Amino acid sequence: MTNGGTFIAHDLDRIGDSAEIEITSPRADATLRPFVPIWVTRVGDELYVRSWKGSGAGWYRHLLAAGEGSIRVDDRLWPIRFETLPTDDPAHAAIDAVYASKYARFGAEYVDAMVAPAARETTLRLVAAST
């Protein structure tokens, strides 16, 4: 459920606490592309995702082109929109810190990729679409 474009508290917890979420976007014929697992961060009441492969990742390019998509955690699906985050946005420091602490167990190689400039440039703030 949504609350005027924001996720309700229970959904924020469920999504933000997940180690991975899955993301997809619609094709031109409105069918969904395959879901792709990605890491998610929560800073306050905002949810963010990045592409560790940078702007060349298929899920990222397709999502930008479609302008909308869906995320899934376990059996629950949320329609989403998104906002790109400018590279000079001060929120990046907090997002980087969450990636570093939440995903440290996967090793520096993965965390470093998620806080590198190429990944930072793909930061999207997830916005709950109307349900």
For the stretch 64-103, pLDDT in tens is: 999 999 999 999 999 999 999 999 999 999 999 999 999 9
CA 36 to chain centre: 11
Residue 5 has pLDDT above 60, yes or no: yes
- Burial string for 59-98 (b: 16+ CB within 10 Å, else e) reads bbebbeeeeebbbbbeeeebebbbeebeeeeeebeebbeb
pLDDT band at 130 (very low <50, low <70, confident <90, very high): confident
**Residue whose C-alpha is closest to residue 121's, from 70, 34, 57:** 57
Domains annotated on the chain, with CATH: 2-128 (2.30.110.10)
Query: What average pLDDT does this structure show over 11-30?
Result: 96
For the stretch 30-53, pLDDT in tens is: 999 999 999 999 999 999 999 999
75 contacts 22 by C-beta, under 8 angstroms: no
